[in-house]
Amino acid sequence: MQEIKIGKINKVSPSRVFDKAEPFSDLHISTFGVSKKCLGDGITICIFGSGLPSHDKIPKASIFENFTSEKDPMIDVVNFSTIGAGVISGDHCGLLPEVEIIFPKVIDNKGNILLSSLLSGFIWACIKQVNIIVLPCSIKNEFMSYFQDILQKINKLGIIVIMPVDKNDSNLDILKTDYVLGVRVDTVKETTWSITEEKKNLIILSYLKSIKMTSPYGVYKYARLLAKEASPFVFASIVGAICSRRKKKSLSISYKSVYPDIISLKK
């Protein structure tokens, strides 16, 4: 049976690395209007990734599973896992240092994402009872029928799915459900940020062109990453902080309960 490819991502790399702190694009979870005390404790984020983070200053996965055919699956050739973990919980400037991150490998070493890998990743995330899933690509309309049942299951379990969306993808069928949150970045020059609801289930993040993150390369401390590449992980951190806050207050965590809290952060 021929495998169905549903997406492909290019290697994600910082545009610059450096040792000393610089005052550009310093992001903290409080930047987005969430308390500094909400650092992700008790919350599990599942990055549908490309391997294990490769840098000792970026926490390695506590749990990892391979859903590709790669013979050496732990090596993160594409860097999606490494960059994602660095933005969310990297030692030097991660947004949620206390969150747990787990990794199903659904991206092969050439950046390809197969239908079978993505479906297996969803099932695995349900078994692991994660709180948030970060997808590496949009689910196009022609593939939506394959995911309908598993997304309904995920919704019942209270798992929040975050999906990067390009400008051309704002009318995806998946965004018409109450299963998935789409996120797109709109870079601005001002030293401000905003969260805008373009329409239900599609969030626009606006901030600087690039952000500072923990470097994925051991000889450097920091790296500069384009906001477009960082956006799903920044947004996952915002949602994770909200979930952490709700958990501290013994409130429910689900798509429907968290969405109003996200919208209330609009500036």
pLDDT digit string (tens) for 188-202?
A: 655 567 788 888 888
pLDDT of res. 143: 94
The rounded percent of the chain whose pLDDT value lies above 70 is 85
- Nearest CA to 139 out of 158, 109, 115, 106 is that of 115
DSSP, collapsed to helix, strand or coil, labels residue 2 as coil
Q: What is the CATH number of the domain that holds 206?
A: 3.40.50.200
Q: Give, rounded to a whole angstrom, the gap between the first and last alpha carbons of the chain.
A: 50
Average pLDDT of the residues of the chain? 84
Residues 80-102, mean pLDDT to the nearest whole number:
87
CB atoms within 10 A of CB 124: 18
pLDDT range class, residue 223, cuts 50, 70, 90: confident
Model pTM? 0.91
In angstroms, the CA 98 to CA 121 distance is 23
Indicate the number of domains in the chain: 1
Matching residue, tokens 């593939």? 143
Residue 207 belongs to domain spanning? 5-263
